[in-house]
Every structure is written in structure tokens, then in C-alpha cells.
Amino acid sequence: MPLKSSWSSNPPGRPLTLEQAYYPDNQAPCRHPFMPISQTRPSPAPLLKPGETVVLFDGVCKLCNGWAKFLIRHDHARRVRLASVQSPEGQALLAWAGLPLQQFDTMAVVRDQHYWVRSDAIFEVVALLPWPWRPVKLLRYVPRKLRDWAYDRIALNRYRLFGKYDVCLLPSPDHERRFLTAPTPGSHPVERIGT
């Protein structure tokens, strides 16, 4: 069933584009092609301390888990925390941002009253990493439409290209503090992420 839109540019009955689904009309981004766009909510994100940055990632996606491990390994200052979208904490943050709770095709970064999705989320995280990773943010000068097109192709095919875990993974004991809170076993079976 297609999503319904209140956007005046979208005829009734026509499905939303990915951009319309992630950028609701009351929060449509400015169209500057280079700077990361943050969406703003009226209240601060639940579960976060002021100024805390959390990366939401797909806990069963092998590529996404690789990204989480990369952040743990390279974020020596511990500026970024993690939460899988399948965890209760991830679900609470998705609901707060108004993002899909089941069909999730983008990484999201959440801080205070703001959140970023797709390629903007990547650049927001990379800006927090130390040298030699910071120059990667220069790729933000690639026009957003092209960046997000490439991001969407990978995101929509990530299970086929990189694989999928049968269970939602938990952090190893030495990495638990990097997660918003240790996910609790719920409807998904869990295993520890190896280092």
C-alpha cells in the first residue's frame, strides 16, 4: 500500500519518493546541495544526554554491523554511541524521529533535537572521527542527489550484497558502554558481536 502524502507536488494516490518519506513536508530540508541537513523535532530525543550523538543502524545487516565495529575501533574519544534499530532504544528513537519502525533503509544519526539520514548521516559521523577519516567529509561536496542515489542503491540491496545475520547482535562485554544501553532480548534472538 503506497504511503499517502500531503505534499502539494505529489498527486493523490501516488507513492512517496524516498526523500518525501524521510523528509516530511513540515520539515522539508533546504535545498543546499552540500551541507548535511538535520531534521529538527520539537522536543529532545528520548534516552540521550544533552549533546550525545547516537548512530542508529540495522542490527542484522552485516554491512551495518561492520560500520558499527569501525566506529568503535576508530572513535577513540568515544563521541559516538550506537543503537540497533531493532532494540527498544532504537525503536524509541525511530518513533521520536517519525521514521519507519519496520522497513528501515537508512542509517540515522540523532543528537539533541536533530537527526540526519542517508549520506548526511554519514558525513555527520565522519566529522566526529579523528584524522585520517575527517577528509572523507569532503565528499559532501558531491551533490546530495547523487550521494543519496548511491546511498539508496547500497541500502536497498545491502542484504543481497553483504549478507544478513539470522539474529540481532549484541555488543561484546568490552563494547557495551558504546551502546545507548545494552539491548535486552525481546522478539529477536541475540548473539555477541565479535571483535
Q: Are strands 168-170 and 114-117 parallel, antiparallel or unpaired?
A: unpaired
Given this model, what pLDDT does residue 38 score? 80
> From the CB of residue 180, how many other CB atoms can be counted at a distance below 10 Å?
22
**Neighbour-count burial for 40-57, b at 16+ CB within 10 Å, e otherwise:** eeeebbebbeeebbbbbb
Nearest to 57 by CA among 17, 98, 113, 117: 117
Cα 76 to Cα 90: distance, rounded to the nearest angstrom? 23
Angle at 92 between CA 91 and CA 93, to 5 degrees: 90
Given this model, what pLDDT does residue 127 score? 87
Given this model, what pLDDT does residue 134 score? 75
Residue 137 C-alpha from the chain's centroid: 17
CA dihedral (97, 103, 106, 112) in degrees, to 10, reads 20
pLDDT tens for the chain, 195 residues long, are 444 433 444 455 555 454 555 444 444 444 455 556 788 888 999 888 899 999 999 888 888 888 888 898 888 888 899 999 998 999 999 999 999 888 888 899 999 999 999 989 988 998 888 888 877 777 888 888 999 999 899 998 898 888 888 766 666 666 777 788 733 445 444 444 444
Decide if 101 contacts 89 (C-beta within 8 A). Answer: no
Given this model, what pLDDT does residue 179 score? 84
Given this model, what pLDDT does residue 4 score? 41
Three cell numbers, residue 90: 532504537
Domain ranges of the chain: 33-192
Conformational region of residue 163, where left means phi above 0, alpha means psi within -120 to 50, and beta covers everything else: left
The DSSP 8-state label assigned to residue 12 in this structure reads: T
